[in-house]
Amino acid sequence: MNCLSPSILSADFANLGDQVRLLDECGAQYVHIDVMDGSFVPSISFGFPIIKSIRGLTDRIFDVHLMIDEPIRYIDEFVACGADLITVHAESCAHLDRTIQAIRDKGILCGVALNPATPLSAIEYVLPNIDMVLIMTVNPGFGGQKFIPYTLDKVRDLKRMIDKKGLKTDIEVDGGINLENVERVMDAGANIIVAGSAVFHGDISENVSCFLEKMREV
Ligand code: DX5
Ligand code: ZN
């Protein structure tokens, strides 16, 4: 299934609750929640209290993208805050398999993210144990960056790997996705689309409708 996952990193934090409600009303299926620790990535975003405060506003999938060192330390807390899907970076886990297991043990969905330069071989053997692969289409750390073109090949190669193994793993893309390139990444094989600035800059409901229109399955 194709799903839009607006990244609230680009939201107006003074009106976060209203904007999350609006995303829900407009039909965005996921809410993408970027957690940054100032170590794995240069910036610091937000953590448990913010996620908890918006959990009651929507039943949409909380898609929590952990850009933090050794996320295994905090899985229980993010689940307690209402995460439905937790994505960890292969680059930030000394023991990726153990981290995946810790997420699965909580009975929620599990994703693994790869930075642009990280090869697909990093997830090849764990692919049957995860629900989603997140291909970073920018270097993680900030919203509003430019899409890196070679990541399209990576999405295509991943789709081939998933099909070859007979799996149904979701492919999420994150970073620099807009109304001009969304069809290209979907043609390459992505089915979960993260968009931050392209959703929150301008008219949110109009932006969400335009994305959903382009993402409609034919
Ligand atoms: C970047 C984050 C993204 C970011 C996307 O490190 O993981 O989710 O919010 O923002 P845009 O769509 O503006 O590139
Ligand atoms: Zn993200």
Task: With beta carbons less than 8 A apart as the criterion, state whether 137 and 148 touch.
Answer: yes
**Nearest residue (CA) to ligand 1, atom 6:** 140
Compute mean pLDDT per 10 residues along the chain, 218 residues long, and list them. Answer: 98 98 98 98 98 98 99 98 99 98 98 99 98 99 98 98 98 98 98 98 98 90
* Ligand 1 pocket member 7 (CB < 6 A): yes
Contacts 24+ apart (CB under 8 A), 145-152: 145/175, 145/176, 146/176, 147/175, 147/176, 147/177, 147/178, 147/181, 148/116, 148/175, 148/176, 150/116, 151/116, 152/184, 152/185, 152/188
**Measured distance CA(142)–CA(15) in Å, rounded:** 20
Ligand approaching nearest to the C-alpha of 145: 1
The residues assigned a catalytic role are 34, 174
Q: What are the beta bridge partners of residue 62?
A: 31
Quickly name the fold that domain 3-215 has.
Answer: TIM Barrel (3.20.20)
- Residue 218: what pLDDT? 62
Q: Is residue 72 a contact partner of residue 92, using CB atoms and an 8 Å limit? A: no
SS3 105: helix
Among 142, 147, 148, 172, which residue has the most ligand 1 atoms within 8 Å of its CB, making it the best to mutate? 142
Place of tokens 């940054």: 36
pTM score: 0.98
Asked whether the beta carbons of 57 and 25 are under 8 A apart, the reply is no
Q: What are phi and psi of 164, to 5 degrees?
A: -60, -35
What ipTM goes with this model?
A: 0.99
- Residue 161 has what pLDDT? 98
